[in-house]
Amino acid sequence: MKLGFHVSIAGGFRNVVARAKERQCETIQLFTRNPRGWKYNPLDAEDISIFKHQMKTSGIGPVFVHMPYLANLATTRKGLLKRSLDSLGTDLKRSALIGAPFLIMHIGSAQNVKTGLERISRSINRVLSSVPSGVKLLLENTAGSGAELGHSFEQLRKIIDKVEQSARIGVVLDTAHAFAAGYDLRTEAAVASTLTLFDQTIGYDRLCLVHLNDSKTECGSHSDRHWHIGKGKIGHGMYHILHYPALQNLPFIMETPRTNLKEDLMNMKKVRKLLVQPKRPRKQTK
């Protein structure tokens, strides 16, 4: 199991590996551009070549790229749809250029669930048919706030079912989003039943990454608030997620709140501690 964080590209890609090492990352996620805007600069060839060399020598990997937030592939608004399609195509190409094998897509939202899901599949088909393969597109389950789609395993399944080149599609399981969407993860039994449902609906073969986040909000709240590992409403369920047999060979990336390096190190330490902790810790005598 490889562990990592979402890492900033501030100051250039050449600063990423140092930041990843500081956080004891074995794998990383990043944005290739400002996640809250449409504008972007072309990648700087020298900067990227330095980054790729550093990645190679550090042994950190794989790199997961996360798409910017503004895109909505389910929208009925023509202008926004065009920008969203361009955005996805651009990020697939940028991911390939920086040597990232995976791009995490922003699913989108729509008032009508059925046509919204169909529109997402159609959008994916359009983009995939125009961009060479090489980067796998990952759908991430959402918390389902407002009209956000992709909060149930069934919805993700429906999107995948209508993608023509479905071998190019994978899935990210975000634990905070699943929990907020109503999938219980608090106990060993709850983790097993949620993950079994995932396997039956989508299949473990699609699962490429776990976003390991605790949740500040209750199960079924549909409110997306990531929290520190073990300190949120999932709490000790984090232990059972980390020890779940079917997840052992997957990369785990944390998107926990951070104001400074210390918080990342605290979460990394916590996860490593949970990983070596025996299943039924003996009662402590103090």
Helix (H, G, I), strand (E, B) or coil at 124: helix
Alpha-carbon gap, residue 88 to 135, rounded angstroms: 12
Of positions 148, 214, 224, 264, contacts Zn ion by CB under 5 A:
224
User: Is 224 known to be catalytic?
Assistant: yes
Give the tokens for residue 19. 């930041």
| Rg, Å, the chain Cα set | 19
Candidates 197-205, 207-215, 241-249, 271-279: pick the segment binding Zn ion (CB under 5 A): 207-215
Give the tokens for residue 99. 């040597």
Catalytic residue among 23, 151, 206, 226: 226
Alpha-carbon gap, residue 3 to 22, rounded angstroms: 13
User: Is 47 known to be catalytic?
Assistant: no
In the complex, the smallest distance separating the C-beta of residue 273 from Zn ion, rounded to whole angstroms, is 22
Candidates 106-114, 146-154, 169-177, 192-200: pick the segment binding Zn ion (CB under 5 A): 169-177
In the complex, the smallest distance separating the C-beta of residue 95 from Zn ion, rounded to whole angstroms, is 17
Catalytic residue among 19, 33, 119, 177: 177
- Is 180 in contact with 219 (CB distance < 8 Å)? yes
User: Is 151 known to be catalytic?
Assistant: no
The angle formed by the CA atoms of residues 95, 180 and 270, to the nearest 5 degrees, is 70
User: Is 258 known to be catalytic?
Assistant: no
> Which of residues 90 and 175 has its CB atom nearest to Zn ion in the complex?
175
Of positions 148, 174, 214, 264, contacts Zn ion by CB under 5 A:
174
In the complex, the smallest distance separating the C-beta of residue 128 from Zn ion, rounded to whole angstroms, is 22
| Of residues 170, 176, 101, the one with CA closest to residue 133 | 101
Alpha-carbon gap, residue 107 to 89, rounded angstroms: 14
Catalytic residue among 91, 148, 214, 224: 224
User: Is 228 known to be catalytic?
Assistant: no
Q: Count residues contacting Zn ion (CB under 5 A)?
A: 3
User: Is 118 known to be catalytic?
Assistant: no
User: Is 36 known to be catalytic?
Assistant: yes
- Is 105 in contact with 137 (CB distance < 8 Å)? yes
Cite the active site residues: 36, 66, 69, 106, 140, 174, 177, 211, 224, 226, 255
